[in-house]
Amino acid sequence: MKSLASALSRAFYRFLPDSLVVAVLLTLVTFVLAATVEKQNPIDLVSMWGGSAWDLLAFSMQIAMLLLTGYMLASTPLVDRGLDALAQRVRSPRAAVAIATFAGALGTWLNVGFGLVIGVVLARKLARTVPGMHYPLAVAGGYAGFSLYGIGLSGTIPLTIATPGHILEEQMGVVPTTETIFAPLVLLTAAVVILGLPAFVALLHPKDAAEVIELRLPQPAPQEEAGKEAGGGETLADRLNRSPAIGIFIGLLGISYTVLHFVGRGAVDFDIINLAFLSLALLLFARPSAFLAALRNSIGVVSGVLVQYPLYAGIMGVLAGSGLMVTFAGVFAGVSTPETLPFFSFLSGGIINLLAPSGGAQWAVQGPIMVEAAGSMGADYAATALGVAYGDQWTNSIQPFWILPVLAISGIKLRDVMGYLFLIMLFLGIVYGASILLLGFL
């Protein structure tokens, strides 16, 4: 297994370009497929692409804020010291990559936004304290847990179909989370990933020290404080900039709203998580000057998201507008039986996710095809929807769309981690494939 991991890493390092180039190549593949399979006019495809390029603008801002606030929260003195204390207790490189993977997986099951950040941030900490740890593998493991989000507490598809008034309610009704996220077999699947994936990642750690890439990250720059007026005396502005009362007030205000939101059974979404992260960061930094200094040190983590997400929005526009996504889903539905429909929903969901990496958008287009097929052949609606969710989360392990934030935080390139992520995808494919087959036959 280690030899295969090393060989794949070398191959991807040699042949895989940067994530921006991958996004452009995926755009080209989508255009070619839409033109050949759906017989679409190239001019129409250009219109679909350009007309959809900014459809993810709000989502891009949500993700950018998630990265920024999550990263800053991890940089607050309290959280930073806690992660440092944890990292300093780890001595074994294999244990280190396993812990980073476990943190990402458990964090993702609890909340998608938290999970996307915490594993990679912890991997950075471990890179400073564990000699001999293979940093690219720790980053890959810290991110790989994100492939659990579809059946976690903030899973898009299970929460959507559990909400009255969802777009397919007339066809499938409202499906409670007791039949999806909290179904015994689904909980068992999540547990297998949370506990088994760290062990699998640890097995991939190179034995040969020559293959290990250690990354001793530079220590964070000292937090800047507001200066004094050029004459020596401290001004009122200086005192306000350094007053902890400012951060404490606005932080408590945001946290109070967050509590009221959840007491009122408000939805768990990116907006409320971002507000909670931002409020906690303001509260824990307290001093505005310290908060702004950390912001300046963190702003680089969002650059890739802002530039590349419009390309993926264009791809999704072509997939939906050309009918290509419907065709893919229809092919798999056409060869299914009532028992195997969830499994083929899983396979088609995984393929479609490579080009259209958004659970909500994918369900809006693929969902009606699969639900109609389930109704016509008497298949289980919950299992069929879970098949799409499983497929969507499965190939997230190698989807550049979601890896972008990880690359920004970790400071490494896509080719450094893709070999390991490919093997992780195979592991998850076995786990998720077996789980969804069992769900279909139960």
The Cα–Cα gap between 149 and 282 comes to: 27
The Cα–Cα gap between 24 and 351 comes to: 18
Q: Which DSSP state fits 268?
A: -
The Cα–Cα gap between 367 and 406 comes to: 29
Q: What is the pLDDT of residue 203?
A: 94
Q: What is the pLDDT of residue 342?
A: 93
Calculate the alpha carbon distances from 94 to 206, 209, 354, 396 in Å.
9, 13, 30, 24
Q: What is the pLDDT of residue 229?
A: 47
Q: What is the pLDDT of residue 237?
A: 86
The Cα–Cα gap between 300 and 238 comes to: 27
Q: Which DSSP state fits 38?
A: S
pLDDT tens per residue across all 442 residues of the chain: 667 767 777 787 777 787 788 888 889 999 999 999 999 999 999 999 999 888 878 777 877 787 788 778 877 888 888 888 888 899 999 999 999 999 999 988 987 777 878 898 899 889 988 999 999 999 999 999 889 988 988 788 888 888 888 878 888 999 998 999 999 999 999 999 999 999 999 999 998 888 888 875 555 544 444 455 445 567 888 888 899 999 999 999 999 999 999 898 876 666 887 898 899 999 999 999 989 888 887 776 676 667 777 888 888 889 888 988 888 778 888 888 999 999 999 998 898 888 776 666 677 777 888 888 898 889 999 999 999 999 989 998 888 777 877 887 888 888 889 899 999 999 999 999 999 999 998 8
The residue among 99, 84, 88 whose CA lies nearest residue 145 is 99
Q: What is the pLDDT of residue 359?
A: 61
Tokens of 297: 């040190």
What are the tens digits of pLDDT across the range 163-219?
888 878 888 999 998 999 999 999 999 999 999 999 999 999 998 888 888 875 555
> Half-sphere exposure of residue 358, counting CA atoms within 13 Å on the CB side?
21
Determine contact, residues 151/177, Cβ cutoff 8 Å. Answer: no
User: Could you count the other beta carbons within 10 Å of the beta carbon of residue 89?
Assistant: 10
State which amino acid sits at residue 215. L
